[in-house]
Amino acid sequence: MKFLRKSIQIVLLCVSIPNAFAQLGFCNGNSGDPIFIETFGEGTNNVALPLGTTTYTYANSAPNDGFYTVSSTTNWYGWHNTLDHTPNDTNGRSLIVNADFTAGEFFRQTINGLCENTSYEFSSWLLNLLPSSGCGGSGIPINVKFQIWDITDTNLLASGDTGNIAGTPNAIWEQFGLTFQTLPAQTSVILKMINNGVGGCGNDLAIDDIVFKTCGDNIVIEDSQSNATIMVCENDTPFATQLTANPDFSIYTTHAYQWQESTDNTIWVDIVGETYQSYITPNINTTTYYRVKVAEDAVNLANPQCSSLSEVFEIRVIEVPEAPISNGNIENCGNDTQSVSVTVPADVIVNWYDAPSGGNLLLSESDSYPTNVAGTYYAEAVTSNGNCVSNNRTAVSIVFYPVPVVVDEELTFCEGEDITLYANVQNMTYLWSTGDVISQTTVNTSGIYTVIVTNGNGCSATKTITLTQIDNPVIGSVESEGTDIIISTANTGDFEYSLDGINYQLNPVFNTIEGGLYTIYVRERSGCGVASIEYLHFWVPKFFTPNGDTENDTFNLKGIEFYNHSEVYIFDRYGRLLISSKNSPFAWDGTFKNQPLPMSDYWYVINIDGQELKGHFTLKR
């Protein structure tokens, strides 16, 4: 049957080139396009190899030991159920081999159309189908020998063994290769694959993507500055340069050249007459790719199976970027740092300047520029590749407007009164937390009040006023303790106290006060209210001295006259009533029947509005 031959690109590992009997390795130079590819095709039905390709027996389904199949499935015997290796295949097939019990050749393929005295690279992908857990973890590894023979099958050109490839938990394709050189007058070779191991539990493999390529020197193209790529801004075109192909002589001893060019790095065209190591490009206005086809002899240049290709040299023409797109000018309240910004494509960077051309570079490689200084700033677009600069810069401005200056306050007001709060900033618009929209608001409740003050530029500031109520004084009680009057308030505050409404003191205790009827005053010191109450201060003297010096000459019960009902009785130590009084002021001069009484203690009984007071006092001479 006829198998699919198609061109695909294989990424090759670069290691040393072997001699005819070296171990496996890949071309360490440049390769040509594939001259032979075996992918084993696509399709869900299994197919057989052409006669003479294998010594194994074809199986239309699961292959037993010594059998093979070409299939898009590997789901047998607990093998890895995996896709073939060929990229982008649909139901791609691979060669499935279940090793025979006797080691030996299982695949043979003749490769025609080669060139004599030319180096080539063979490669193929292998997969151990048996998972590492198969056969109780002791499955037979796969081990394949690759051989390249001349067409007479008598001269071995190259050989190499994969060594044991053990099973893996997951399906892993591995690539192996050989390099060889054809003999004089030789244009065909034979590829052989030999199973070094024997069948049994294991040694089950899949093969895919067999490729042959030419193998030549590693050839690098450079310009006079040793660049491997040139990027040119379109406003610097037309552009021309000299390119030179530099082979490393790792394969070829002599070199013939044919320069090629491409506009898409896919379709290549020979440049007529350009067969030298160096090449001067024409004037270029669009992106262009160059490479050189190399062979040891000029006659081989026309045959793609006898030449190799250099690395690609790209002269990329970069479009001059458009000026950045402004994200808008900024008007900001206050002088906090803000950022002007622009938008550019993903492959373009932005540099910021202080002038529309020339000027000072302020910031590089940023789509935004932070500042707290008002002004106009200029954004320039630069391509990441080639540093191509936009023809114009984009102006973006920023303005900082002043914010109204407000001062928070802590205020007090008197209980029961209104207080007017002021924004204290003129020519603004206002919004109070009370709902008022003028510069002031009147309230009568403590709390936190705010006013948003906004100027003509729309800039706002919030003033906060903490308002605390000062309570009016409330008299709780007034008591007499001997000659002292003690005043207590029912609430706390910064109070002062008075017995006449004129003279105030901070101490709520008034000492050594004559008995009598008083008006007690309690006043809040900042002017928030006065409380008053009448109070009858009454106390019984402990002694008196009727000696005619006009001081304390009488036993005087001051204030007793203000009670609704009062009775006073004075006795000597023997219980004799000396004097009495009822519902009238009382003052006794220490006499009985107009005769002075001696110094002694005397007793009293006083009834005041139903309350009886008893005690004694001393008459001193």
Mean pLDDT over each residue of the chain, to the nearest integer: 91
Determine the distance from the C-alpha atom of residue 49 to the mean position of all C-alpha atoms in its chain, rounded to a whole number: 59
Asked whether residue 29 is assigned to any structural domain, the reply reads no
Closest-CA residue to 425 (of 440, 409, 447)? 440
Look at residues 172, 193, 214 and tell me which one is the last residue of a structural domain.
214
Closest-CA residue to 186 (of 224, 154, 163)? 154
Asked whether residue 425 is assigned to any structural domain, the reply reads yes
Weakest mean pLDDT among 61-65, 261-265, 297-301, 444-448: 297-301
Is pLDDT above 50 for 363?
A: yes
CA dist., res. 458 & res. 473, Å (int): 46
Q: Indicate whether 169 and 57 sit together in one domain.
A: yes
| CATH (domain of 561) | 2.60.40
Q: Indicate whether 75 and 111 sit together in one domain.
A: yes
Q: Indicate whether 392 and 337 sit together in one domain.
A: yes
CA dist., res. 310 & res. 246, Å (int): 9
Token pair for residue 22? 């070296």
pLDDT of residue 28: 81
Look at residues 198, 214, 230 and tell me which one is the last residue of a structural domain.
214
DSSP string, 475-494: EEEEEEETTEEEEEESS-SS
| CATH (domain of 397) | 2.60.40.10
Q: Indicate whether 314 and 345 sit together in one domain.
A: no
Asked whether residue 22 is assigned to any structural domain, the reply reads no
Q: Indicate whether 68 and 156 sit together in one domain.
A: yes
Mean pLDDT for 180-203 is 91
Q: Indicate whether 559 and 528 sit together in one domain.
A: no
Closest-CA residue to 385 (of 315, 326, 324, 323)? 315
CA dist., res. 610 & res. 606, Å (int): 10
Radius of gyration of the chain (CA): 58
Is pLDDT above 50 for 13?
A: no
DSSP string, 307-345: -EE---EEEEEEPPPPPPEE---EEEESS--EEEEEE--
CA dist., res. 244 & res. 220, Å (int): 8
CA dist., res. 463 & res. 534, Å (int): 46
Q: At 222, is the pLDDT very low, low, confident or very high (cuts 50, 70, 90)?
A: very high
- State pLDDT tens for residues 264-300: 999 999 999 999 999 999 999 999 999 999 988 888 8
HSE, side-chain direction, 13 A CA sphere, residue 174: 18
Q: In what order do the strands lie in the sheet with 509-510?
A: 475-481, 484-489, 509-510
**What's the structural domain count of the chain?**
6
Mean pLDDT for 397-417 is 95
**Cβ(245)–Cβ(218) under 8 Å?**
no
Weakest mean pLDDT among 104-113, 305-314, 352-361, 462-471: 305-314
Q: Indicate whether 448 and 585 sit together in one domain.
A: no
Query: Within 10 A of 133 (CB to CB), how many other CB atoms are there?
Result: 12
pLDDT of residue 23: 60
CA dist., res. 270 & res. 259, Å (int): 6
Q: At 217, is the pLDDT very low, low, confident or very high (cuts 50, 70, 90)?
A: confident
Q: Indicate whether 414 and 521 sit together in one domain.
A: no
Distances (CA, A) of 117 to 14, 181, 251, 319: 22, 6, 11, 47
| CATH (domain of 151) | 2.60.120.260
Asked whether residue 7 is assigned to any structural domain, the reply reads no
Asked whether residue 262 is assigned to any structural domain, the reply reads yes
Mean pLDDT for 488-496 is 96
Q: Indicate whether 79 and 202 sit together in one domain.
A: yes
Q: Indicate whether 314 and 184 sit together in one domain.
A: no
Residue partners of 358: CB distance under 8 A and separation at least 6: none
Token pair for residue 586? 């009382």
pLDDT of residue 115: 84
Q: Indicate whether 422 and 491 sit together in one domain.
A: no
Domain that holds residue 486: 475-537
**Cβ(157)–Cβ(189) under 8 Å?**
yes
Is pLDDT above 80 for 474?
A: yes
Asked whether residue 6 is assigned to any structural domain, the reply reads no
Q: Indicate whether 154 and 128 sit together in one domain.
A: yes
Dihedral angle sign, alpha carbons of residues 612, 613, 616, 621: negative
Asked whether residue 10 is assigned to any structural domain, the reply reads no
Look at residues 469, 484, 503 and tell me which one is the last residue of a structural domain.
469
- Amino acid at site 367: D
Q: At 445, is the pLDDT very low, low, confident or very high (cuts 50, 70, 90)?
A: very high
- State pLDDT tens for residues 548-606: 888 889 999 999 999 999 999 999 999 999 999 999 999 999 999 999 999 999 999 99
Q: At 15, is the pLDDT very low, low, confident or very high (cuts 50, 70, 90)?
A: very low
- % pLDDT > 70, the chain: 96
CA dist., res. 194 & res. 378, Å (int): 71
Asked whether residue 388 is assigned to any structural domain, the reply reads yes
